[in-house]
Amino acid sequence: MSLADPQVWISLLTLTVLEIVLGIDNVVFISVSTERLPARQQPAARRLGIGLALGTRVLFLIAAVWVIGLTVPLFQVFDQDVSWRDLLLLGGGLFLIWKGTHEIHETVEGAGRARSRASPAAFATVVAQIAVLDVVFSFDSVLTAVGMAQHLWVMITAVVVAMAVMLWAAEPVSRFVSQHPTVKMLALSFLLLIGMALIAEGLHFEIPKGYLYFAVGFALLVEGLNQVVSRRRRRARSAQSGKKA
């Protein structure tokens, strides 16, 4: 291996971009999960959650052979092989669907109720939820890294850079989601979509990632246009109020 080899740097750049894309679902989940904590605890929970995600990915990369071994069939159900990876994907998908549905219910039905104070146990619960989902989200990340790069340092560097981007993006994303109820509902819908995709993958029904990213991108575009229109309407109302005054 030579650092002067352009293939090494191309693989590092490509893998870093892919790791950032694969980390989007992590950022959405962390933003939604920490939103219920007191404001002073949210940054610490986000940093800890992303730190756990980084640690999980690096450990999985070091133990890449073991991770790949988790795809070996354990047993069969209706002539379909089932591996540890399938079970983890199914469990993670079901958890995301439960989490998304629960948060949507609380957002809609509990909109008029005051938010209860979160206890230290609640902080630990949120971090534990993030840690569990980090394991599920790490599978795609690690398998992609192993499939694209031949050198461990390239894989770890790409993951570290992607986690740094997540750490930078988590704060503004969380703040934006918290301040805009429609964006929060959209983020919760993303959790349901990701959950269904994980369940499908666990059942060996492959959904091309491009379809998911297009759906998410289109929804974000529509919501972005909605935010622009709403902002212009507020400015127009403010201007009219100023003239009347």
Q: What is the pLDDT of residues 217-241, one digit of tens each?
A: 788 788 788 878 888 888 877 777 7
Number of structural domains in the chain: 1
Do the domain assignments include residue 190? yes
Do the domain assignments include residue 20? yes
Q: Against a cut of 0.85, is the pTM above it? A: no
Cα–Cα distance for residue pair 1/3, rounded to 1 Å: 7
Which pLDDT belongs to residue 245? 59
Whether residue 51 has pLDDT greater than 50: yes
Which pLDDT belongs to residue 27? 78
Mean pLDDT score of the chain, rounded to an integer? 75
Which pLDDT belongs to residue 210? 74
Cα–Cα distance for residue pair 208/3, rounded to 1 Å: 34
Q: Which amino acid is at 90?
A: L
pLDDT tier, 45 (very low <50, low <70, confident <90, very high otherwise): confident
pLDDT tier, 114 (very low <50, low <70, confident <90, very high otherwise): very low
Whether residue 4 has pLDDT greater than 70: no
Do the domain assignments include residue 120? yes
Look up the domain containing 193 and give its range.
6-207
Do the domain assignments include residue 222? no
Do residues 62 and 152 lie in contact, with contact meaning Cβ atoms separated by under 8 Å? yes
Helix (H, G, I), strand (E, B) or coil at 211: helix
Do the domain assignments include residue 55? yes
Residue 150 DSSP one-character state = S
Closest among 37, 25, 7, 10 to 134, alpha carbons compared: 25
Which H/E stretch holds residue 82?
strand 80-82
For the chain, how far is it from start to end, CA to CA, in angstroms? 72
pLDDT tier, 1 (very low <50, low <70, confident <90, very high otherwise): very low
Do the domain assignments include residue 233? no
Whether residue 183 has pLDDT greater than 80: no
Q: Which amino acid is at 56?
A: T
Percentage of the chain with pLDDT > 90?
A: 0
Do the domain assignments include residue 226? no
Helix (H, G, I), strand (E, B) or coil at 113: coil
Which pLDDT belongs to residue 112? 46
Do the domain assignments include residue 241? no
Which pLDDT belongs to residue 117? 46
Cα–Cα distance for residue pair 54/62, rounded to 1 Å: 12
